[in-house]
Amino acid sequence: MIQPHRSHTLFLAFLLHRISGLLLALFLPIHFWVLSLTLTAPNEFDSMLAWSDNSFVKLAEFVLVFLLAVHIFGGLRLIALELLDWNSGQKTAAASAVAIAVFVSGIFLLRAI
């Protein structure tokens, strides 16, 4: 049986915020390793840059920017929840956070293509 609070719309916002944070945290070591190649192995870094022109990598970058935007705007929603009074517009704020994240990451994808 699903607990009542887990069927609430804002529980999905909670899950999306936590999952996006976890995936971003898993991405960071890979990102730092690739950046370290600029100092330790410039030729490998150049080949990594050539590989990043692949359309699959651009799609992965879109997902990464989406996760970052969702995490940022979801965090801003949580800060507003902590500092402001509770109101019925919280679902709208959660939906707006996702919509803004899709918009921002979509612009990134269009510029990358």
pLDDT, tens digit, for every residue of 6-56? 777 778 888 888 999 999 999 999 889 888 888 899 899 888 888 888 889
Domain ranges of the chain: 8-112
pTM higher than the cut 0.75: no
The CATH architecture annotation of domain 8-112 reads Up-down Bundle (1.20)
Vertex 29: Cα angle to 36 and 61 (nearest 5)? 90
Number of C-alpha atoms within 13 angstroms, CB side, residue 71? 14
At residue 91, the pLDDT reads 74
What is the distance between the alpha carbons of residues 78 and 65, in angstroms, rounded to a whole number? 20
